[in-house]
Amino acid sequence: MAKVKMTVNGRQVGSDCEDRTLLVHFLRENLALTGTHVGCDTTQCGACVVHMDGRSVKSCTILAAQAAGSTIVTIEGLAGSGELHPVQAAFKANHGLQCGFCTPGMVMTAVDMIRRHGANLDEATVRSELDGNICRCTGYHNIVKSILAAAAEMAGAQQAAE
């Protein structure tokens, strides 16, 4: 048992956990942030994706101890309370989810790929970038549509700001 400290969604937190505790369980059990999900045991499905120090990572394959001292953003921390991040809004407008279980991971992966590719995102790139996220409900079409819509919206908003 050791106290593991990190910054999560802008807040400094610390909690005792076993050395073998995975980051996803630390978030879900220790911090009661249940928006990040466990969908597999082989690092394949992406339901556990969070942002660690600015990059998307699979929290099921990182020990909480490895994340000590880092800055974590989960689905709960993406937007201010009551608001929706443009990616969240795009998923809502484009029916990019059904049961919702893969959705937090999809959204976090989407935010990361838009950050890296910006307005250059095309369908082929989105589909390739989604290789680490599995959905069993939607067949992916509307997820891709949502992400492209969000990317366009965010590029447009950025241009307007500049």
Partner 1 sequence: MGVEGIGASVARKEDKRFLTGKGRYTDDMSVPGMKYAFFVRSPYAHARIKSIDMSAAKDMPGVIGILEGKQLQADAIGNIICGWMIHSKDGSPMKMGAWRPLAHETVRYVGDAVAIVVADSMGEARDAAEAVVVEYDVLPAVTEAVKALEAGQPQLHPEAPNNLIFDWQLGDGAAADKAIAEAAHVTEITLRNNRLAPNPMEPRATLGIYDSAEDHYTCYTTSQNPHVARLVMSAFYNVAPENKLRVIAPDVGGGFGSKIYIYPEEIVCLWASKKTGVPVKWTCDRTEAFLTDAHGRDHVSTVKMAFDKDNRITGLKVDTIANLGAYMSLFSSAVPTYLYATLLSGQYAIPAIHANVRTVYTNTVPVDAYRGRAAGGDLSSRADYGDRGAGTRRFAGGTPPQELRADFPLSDPGDHELRRR
Residue closer to partner 1 (CB basis): 100 or 156? 100
For residue 32, state whether it binds partner 1 (rule: CB under 8 A). Answer: yes
Count of Cβ atoms closer than 10 Å to residue 92 Cβ: 12
* One of 8, 33, 113, 144 touching partner 1 (CB under 8 A): 33
Q: Which of 18, 12, 20 is nearest to 71 (CA)?
A: 12
For residue 56, state whether it binds partner 1 (rule: CB under 8 A). Answer: no
Integer angstrom CA distances of residue 133 from 4, 73, 110, 140, 157: 28, 18, 10, 10, 27
For residue 20, state whether it binds partner 1 (rule: CB under 8 A). Answer: yes
Q: Residue 51 CB, nearest distance to partner 1 (Å)?
A: 13
Tell which positions 135-154 bind partner 1, by CB under 8 A.
135-137
Count of Cβ atoms closer than 10 Å to residue 45 Cβ: 22
Q: Which of 28, 43, 25, 48 is nearest to 102 (CA)?
A: 48
Contact residues for partner 1, defined by CB under 8 A: 18, 20-21, 25, 28, 32-42, 45, 47, 74-76, 78-79, 84, 88, 91-92, 95, 97-104, 107, 134-137
